[in-house]
Amino acid sequence: MSAAGVLSFAQQGWEQVLAKVKWSVVYLDAACAESLHWSCGSSRLLEAVQGPACSLREFEPGAIGGGAQQPRAVFVLSCLLKGRTVDTLRDIVRRSHFQYCVVVTAVSHAVHLTANHVPAAAAAELEGQQPVFEQLEEKLCEWMGNVNYTAEVLHVPLLLAPAAPHLAITPAFATLFPLLPRDVHLLNSARQDKRRLSSLGEVDAAALTPELLLHIRCLVSGLSSLCEHLGVREECFAVGSLSRVIATDLANYAPAKNRKKTATGRASVVFVDRTLDLTGAVGHHGDNLVEKIISVLPQLPGHTNDVMVNMAELTAVQAMEENHSVIAPGCLAQSK
């Protein structure tokens, strides 16, 4: 699996987004903003927008809506178009003057069908159709106040943030953490009428909560898209209880069956529970420069894998409290 292939996967996804954003107000959630940060940078997005920096906004309930001179909007989201995400989307659109809305989600339509409890057999019959996205398009036109306005909902696999040539991170899954021994009790409490689990070794997909299973399926969908981009048929291996569930789900992922039949290459995918090396993850040994940088410098706001570098020392700006935010901080992703 080449470093160039992973980088092109991330950049190709963002090129699809950039093709939609001209003269638009762009709303991004934190995970997509971090993926953009490492893939091509906000400057590339601003170039594509061809508008002021205020055209980029965080996707949140209190986000500013679009004014009368801002008829176009693009929402770039890392999560399912469901629940609070749709509520936030509705509120922003209703308090705006949009006439053209594009919603980009990093989660495939197949996973949206799963989230809406569509049986696997029925989902298979919908191949080539996207009823969940089409329904949201109708809702967007309704929220914009005119059914003749334009709405588009599409899936772009914005899974990765390529931090280095051979290292990519998944910002949307920063909170996905392996199960701990004490979690067995919590799982048992939710399955009163089923056989009780005695250890993590007995945990399978059926033992997990629907929310966690759906989160895993979102990850699996993105990994399947990566394998499709690389043109490989994956063999999955796992070390650890949660990794075993993820590997099994990827190996059995129904929408990938046709891809696996036509793939010309092969790849081994190894999943490892991070809890198997907690001492290494939480220790700060300082035996390399990157570790020293990450442990000493403050975290870049809204990011999980980058730090702030004080650039004021390179300028003539006096080091005073009121000048603290005058100079934008540097970071690891943008070294120039």
Kindly report, as residue ranges, where domains of CATH 3.40.50 are found in the chain: 3-155
> What integer pLDDT is reported at residue 194 of this predicted model?
79
Report how far residue 270's alpha carbon sits from residue 195's, in angstroms, rounded to the nearest whole number.
Answer: 30
73 beta partners: 25, 101
Contact 269, 244 (CB under 8 A): no
> What integer pLDDT is reported at residue 323 of this predicted model?
56
Give the tokens for residue 217. 């399926």
Query: Which of 142, 162, 159 is CA-nearest to residue 151?
Result: 142
User: What sign does the dihedral 292-297-300-304 (CA atoms) show?
Assistant: positive
Contact 53, 46 (CB under 8 A): yes
> What integer pLDDT is reported at residue 30 of this predicted model?
94
Highest CATH level, class, for 3-155: alpha beta
For 169-221, write each residue's pLDDT tens digit.
Answer: 999 999 999 988 888 888 888 777 778 888 888 888 888 989 999 999 999 99
> What integer pLDDT is reported at residue 332 of this predicted model?
84
Distances (CA, A) of 274 to 150, 174, 243, 249, 279: 45, 12, 9, 19, 10
Q: Which residues lie below 8 Å from residue 251, measured CB to CB, with a gap of 6+?
A: 234, 236
Strands (E), the chain: 25-28, 56-58, 72-77, 100-105, 150-155, 161-164, 167-169, 232-239, 265-272
> What integer pLDDT is reported at residue 16 of this predicted model?
96
> What integer pLDDT is reported at residue 10 of this predicted model?
93
The list of the chain residues with pLDDT below 70 reads: 1-3, 53, 278-286, 317-326, 335-336
> What integer pLDDT is reported at residue 309 of this predicted model?
85
For 8-51, write each residue's pLDDT tens digit.
Answer: 999 999 999 999 999 999 999 999 999 999 998 888 999 999 88
